[in-house]
Structure formats: C-alpha cells, structure tokens
Structure 1
Amino acid sequence: MDIEIQPVTQPKPRIEDESKLVFGRQFTDRMFVMEYDAGRGWHSARIQPYAPFTLDPAALVFHYAQEIFEGLKAFRRQDGSIALFRPKDNIRRFNQSASRLCMPPVDEEFFFEAIRKLIRLEADWVPHSEGTSLYIRPTMIATEAVLGVKPSEKYLCYIILCPVGAYYKGGFKPVRIWISDQFVRSAPGGTGEVKCGGNYAASLLAAKEAATKGFDQVLWLDAVERRYVEEVGSMNICFLYDGKIVTSPLHGTILNGVTRRSILQLGAEMGYTVEERAMSVDELLDGAESGRLAEAFGTGTAAVVSPVGQLTYRDRTVTIGDGQMGPLTMKLYKALTGIQYGHEPDTHNWIEML
C-alpha cells in the first residue's frame, strides 16, 4: 500500500520558546490516516493536514469503547539528527492491544515506515533543547455506525505528533502517592495489559480523589485480594528493596511497559538483581520504615523515571529514604536518556535513526 502525501497549505504557528512547550497541547501540521473495511482490509493510507474527523453519532467507538493507542517519542540529537526509541516494540504492543479488543492488526513494517515518513515531513517540529522531544500517538478507533455489542467492521487508524517540553523543568521533584484500597485498575482476565482508553477512564475517579487529598498519583493494588502492588497512575513502578530492583510481574493486569523493560535491563547490567514478584502493601510500608525500601520510582514514556518520595495507605504515611530522588533512580534516568539523546552508546539496538 502506498502512502499519499497531501500538501499543507496553512502551516501552524509554532512555540519558539521551547521552555513553554506543554504536553499534549500543540500538534504538528500533518497526521497519518488510513481506514479499514471488512473484506477489503486497510486502505487509503495518507499523510494529510492535521484536521478534525467527521464520525457518525452511532460509531461503535462512542458506545462500546473499541479503541487503542500507543505513546512513543522522537529525540533530537546534538548533531541535528532524529532518533526513535524502540518504536517496533510499541508497534508490536499496538497489535497485541488490537488482538485483545478484536480489532484488525496493522502491518508492522508498513506502520513503522508510516511513522518515519510522517516525522521526516514534520522534522522541523522536533524540538532542539535537552529534555524535549516529539511525542508520537498512534490510535485506532471503531467507526462502523451501528448500535450493538460486536466487533466493528470499519476502523480508522491515525498518528498525530506533539512537541513536548522537558518533563523535569524545575528539577527532580519526588511525587507523593496515595495507595487506593477502594478502587482497582484492572482484574485478572480483563484488559489491564492493553493500552486502551477504557483503562484510563476507569482510573479518573481515584486520581481525582487522590488530588483532592493533596497527592500526585494513585498506586493501585490487585483486584482479588486488594493487597499486592501493581501500577502507579499511568506508569509501572519499581522498588529498590534489600538492594534488589523489585517490580510487579506481568500477569495480564498491568501494562508491559517499554520503559519498564528498558530500565530492568539496564539495572541488571549495573549489577542489580531484578525480581519480578508480588509485593504486599504491608511489606512496602514496613520496608520504608525499616530502611529495607531505599528507593521507589515509576517508569513510563513521559517521565522515563518518576521518583517517589512518600506513600500513604489509609492512615499510615511513610517516607522513602530521605524523600528525595535516590542515586539508583538518577543513575537509571541518566543511562536511559543518555541512550535516547545519543550521549551514551546504544549497545542494545534500541535506537532507530530517521
């Protein structure tokens, strides 16, 4: 399938001061779009001017939430070149999400080339300052106009781009986390490992409650026993416990994060033992008080690592370490961003250059 390139006649004004870039607020001039029809497959691939869609009010995405997305980044190197970090892993996960929600897969090599072509056309939108990047959001939605709980026979797939500023503009500020025992993010057999909108919509009430209490994020417990740690907010979470890097195992209820995998691999190469095991909330809090829990940090595309300084569960609050970003957290952050921005060698073949 060829990709049609449509002209842009009215380029958007850009934010010249890159320190003022805000995540998810400004989008580039172009986007990639293609459609799917049962019996025909994917067709009409094109890179067109960024514009709204017209959808039927009965489109299945509005009523039964057949929708998936991904998030990855492109980075400007000091020599002006542009690098993508593990894009094929994101595309592979995109198809895994599609399979779980009965949506058609994309051809992974074609989709990778579509991302490359789109970014090449929008290269001037990739910011130059250290810590900035171009966020890439592939999305697929069900568009068949019919009311009925069934897989759609029509889909729209698109990719939009957003220049984003440095995540830690004012320095590394550890987050305060509220551990919820009332709400759960996902249950065994559900869609917890899928990157779909419904998972995030289900998290909003707990996040809102946490914010009203003065917390930055929610730490989710398992749905069965409400005892074991799973994820924090929209990120995976890791702990430096008894000198080992400990994180929740992948058993279908948490996202198989690309950043999570990268951090665990880098930690192992630094000489740390990595344990993927269930950790109870009591073990976590007791460990913070005894000193066995030295550091905690979330991992995700947006922040890379997000240090955790404090945890609250019911009426119990603990500080992790000295409440600041720990040395391992900082070391992992510098190691991974060093690879992304080209300051460190990529010995893992994680980088795809444009």
Structure 2
Amino acid sequence: MSSFKQQPRLIISHQPTPLEQAPRLSAKLGINLLFKRDDCTGLAGGGNKIRKLEYLLADAQQQGADTLVTIGGLQSNHARQTAAAAAKFGFNCELVLQDVPGTPRVDYLTNGNMFLHELLGVTVYQVPVKEDCHQYANSLVARLQQQGKRPYLIPIGGSNAVGSLGYLRCALELIEQLDEQALKIDQLVVATGSAGTQAGLLAGLIIAGVDIPVLGITVSRPGSEQEQLVLTLLQQILQRLGLDPALANGKVHANGDYYGASYGVVTQDSLNAITTTAQTEGILLDPVYTGKAMAGLIDLCQRGIIAKGSTQLFLHTGGSQALPAYISAFN
C-alpha cells in the first residue's frame, strides 16, 4: 500500500463519488441494484477518465511536458476529459480522433463531445477510418518535439499502469463506502474497453484483500480478447507496485455478448437500456459504454444468470455528453 501512496497525483475530480440505491430499476430487474456514480467526477461533465488523468497529468508534470497528446474516437469521452484537464492545468492539448464506421452521420461529426472539444479550445486531427491513429499520434509527437515542444502521449482511455492507478484508488474508496453503509455486494459490473478501469479496480481489490467479483461487459471486442487485455494490464499494475503479478490469476472476467457490430455503434438493446435507466432512475447512460453494459446487466438478470435478489453494483463511468451525437439512432 505504501508504494501506491507514493505515486504522484494531481487532485482533479470530486471524490468520493456517490454510491446510491436504484430502487425502481431494482424492482424491475428483481435484484438490489446500486450505482457508483463516476459520472459525477466533475470536470467538463465528469466521467471515469478523470481519475486516470490525476496520475497521468502528475507524471506529465514530472517529465516537464507542456503538451498533452491523446487518441480516441471522434466522440471520445476520454479526449473531452483530457482537453478539460489540460485547460485546468495549463497544458496545450492535441487530440488524434478517428472516425467510427456505422455511427450516425447527422450529429456524430459535430455534436456531443465534438462540440465540447471545440469549446475547450484544443487542436483536433481527424483521422480517416483506414489510417493507423497510433502511428499518426507518434508522428505528431515527433513533429511537436521538432518544434521545441515537450509532448506527453496518453494512451487510448488513459489505460496504462500509471492511469489505472486512478481505479485502484476508486476500489479503495468504494470499499470504504460499503463499510460505512454496512453494504455487501455480490458483484461489480462495469463497461470495459481500453481495460484500465477494470484492471485498476481489480488491483485495488487485490491490495485490500477484498474478494468482490468484477464483471466487465465489453464494448468493442470478444470476451476472451478483453480478458487477456485486462489481465496483462493488471499484471503490469501489480509489478509497478512491487507485487506478485500472479495475484491477477483467476480475477479477470469479461462478457463479450453485448457490444454489437463494433465500438461506438449502438445496439437496440443498448438504446432500450439507456431509455429504461433514464425513465426509472433519472440517470443518463451513454451509447458507447454504459448503455451496452446496462444492456448486458438487464439481459443477464432476465435470463437468471444474475441471481434474483442478489446485490449488484453498476459502475457508471459517465459519457452522457455523447448522447446528442446519437439523436438519430434514438429516433
């Protein structure tokens, strides 16, 4: 634990985020459902990436960086939060954003997070679908260095062993909240994509010695591929903290049945899940991550795979700012 506490961090987010009951949705699903509201982290509308950015920006400061560079889809919540954090701490910010085939054309290119990127005053490079966005970002970093700037490259979703420490901290925060409220949960359900949120949560639970199963509902790839991605990152986090990477064995579980055609492309079940959650709890989910994760949770409850009467915690990772980009999908 001492090694974790020594990791440099900037305080950006509102913490702790609320842990709240969802009584009407619980009744509909036949379970006791709790929400961990990481859509309420604050900066530029909040979301889970801010926890990661607390460690990434501290690392960028230590390295003397003056420009943040990151990668994502055009409607990337991570890119919005990176842009906002850059504004707050005086970094320049350059976003390498790739179009996503199969998404709505009417609002996707200009509304939602794309509008917010513009509002936050960052430079956006729109990369065509067939171009390698990682290669583009590496070339951009080299160009910035040639111009005398000091760029710091943040991976997709802020998901490396540094950024994931934000979700290690979140797991410890959650354990404390559960203890304070005398709550016991049977499972934690989370949307999983770039892997840092799920891997960080598992690292925190391992460090705390708390055995809560974490089910990742994948948003972009089959479950087996996602499990390997999360496992590799979890092992890297443990190694960074001087712990045995073998502690990760048997901890990673992901379900790949609900992501649909691809990342960023909505499914009818995810649209239904967003609508149901809004109309029962007044909570806004997003089309890319939490909508698909909630669709999975609902289906697993309806099929009896998640036991009736069990207590499930849904980690709301944010992203409702992207909803206006998907208006035509709802219509």
TM-score of the two chains, using structure 2 as the length reference: 0.23
The structure carrying a bigger strand percent of its residues is 1
Structure with more relative contact order (C-alpha pairs < 8 Å, separation 6 or more): 2
The structure carrying a bigger helix percent of its residues is 2
**Bigger radius of gyration, 1 or 2?**
1
